Amino acid sequence: MFTEAVAISVRRSAPSSPSVIRGKGCFLYDEQGKSFLDMSGGSGAANLGYQRDDLVEVLKRQSELLIHTGWNIDNPQRHEVVAKLAGLVPYAQASVFAAVTGAEAIEVALKIARAATGRQGVVYFHNSFHGKTQGALSVTSNSGFRKHLAGDNLQLTALALDYAADQDPARATLWREQLAEHLQQAQQANRLPAALIIEPIQAAEGMYPVPLALLEAIVELGKRFGVITIFDEIYTGFGRTGTPFFSNPQLLPDLLVLGKALGNGLPISAVVGRPELVDCLGYAEHSSTFTLMPLACAVASKVLDIYHQEQPWQWAASNGGYLRQALESFGEEDSRVANVRGRGMMLAFDFEGTGKGGDVLALRNRLLEHGVIVRTGGRNPATVKLTPPLCMSQQEIQAFIQTLQGVCRSL
Q: Among the candidate windows 102-110, 142-150, 179-187, 393-401, which touches ligand PLP by CB under 6 A? A: 102-110
Sketch the per residue contact string, 279 through 318, with ligand PLP: x for CB under 6 A, - otherwise.
Answer: ----------------------------------------
Q: Using CB under 6 A, pick the residue from 232, 254, 350, 396 that binds ligand PLP.
A: 232
Q: Using CB under 6 A, pick the residue from 52, 78, 130, 148 that binds ligand PLP.
A: 130
Under the binding rule (CB under 6 A), the answer on residue 205 touching ligand PLP is no
Nearer to ligand PLP, 240 or 336 (CB): 240
Q: In the bound complex, what is the minimum distance in angstroms from residue 337's beta carbon to ligand PLP? A: 24
Under the binding rule (CB under 6 A), the answer on residue 103 touching ligand PLP is yes
Strands 228-232 and 195-198 turn out to be parallel
Under the binding rule (CB under 6 A), the answer on residue 235 touching ligand PLP is yes
Nearer to ligand PLP, 102 or 357 (CB): 102
Q: Using CB under 6 A, pick the residue from 121, 131, 200, 244 that binds ligand PLP.
A: 131
Under the binding rule (CB under 6 A), the answer on residue 203 touching ligand PLP is yes
Under the binding rule (CB under 6 A), the answer on residue 101 touching ligand PLP is yes
Q: Among the candidate windows 34-42, 123-131, 209-217, 340-348, which touches ligand PLP by CB under 6 A? A: 123-131
Under the binding rule (CB under 6 A), the answer on residue 199 touching ligand PLP is yes
Site for ligand PLP in 42-71 (CB under 6 A): 43
Provide CB contacts within 8 A for 214, sequence distance 6+. 161, 162, 165, 172, 175, 176
Q: Using CB under 6 A, pick the residue from 55, 58, 234, 298 that binds ligand PLP.
A: 234
Q: In the bound complex, what is the minimum distance in angstroms from residue 377's beta carbon to ligand PLP? A: 13
Q: In the bound complex, what is the minimum distance in angstroms from residue 168's beta carbon to ligand PLP? A: 26
- Count of residues interacting with ligand PLP (CB under 6 A): 15
Nearer to ligand PLP, 204 or 397 (CB): 204
CA torsion sign for 390, 387, 35, 12 is: positive
Site for ligand PLP in 343-372 (CB under 6 A): none
Nearer to ligand PLP, 102 or 312 (CB): 102
Q: Using CB under 6 A, pick the residue from 204, 300, 348, 367 that binds ligand PLP.
A: 204
Nearer to ligand PLP, 236 or 408 (CB): 236
Under the binding rule (CB under 6 A), the answer on residue 259 touching ligand PLP is yes
HEC readout, the chain: CHHHHHHHHHHHHCCCCCCEEEEEECEEEECCCCEEEECCHHHHCCCCCECCHHHHHHHHHHHHHCCCCCCCCCCHHHHHHHHHHHHHCCCCCCEEEEECCHHHHHHHHHHHHHHHHCCCCEEEECCCCCCCCCCHHHHCCCCCHHHHCCCCCCCEEEECCCCCHHHCHHHHHHHHHHHHHHHHHHHHCCCCCCEEEECCEECCCCCEECCHHHHHHHHHHHHHHCCEEEEECCCCCCCCCCCCCCCECCECCCEEEECHHHCECECCEEEEECHHHHCCCCCCCCCCCCCCCHHHHHHHHHHHHHHHHHCCHHHHHHHHHHHHHHHHHHHHHCCCEEEEEEECCEEEEEECCCCCCHHHHHHHHHHHHCCEECEECCCCCCEEEECCCCCCCHHHHHHHHHHHHHHHHHC
Residues that bind ligand PLP (CB under 6 A): 43, 101-103, 106, 129-131, 199, 203-204, 232, 234-235, 259
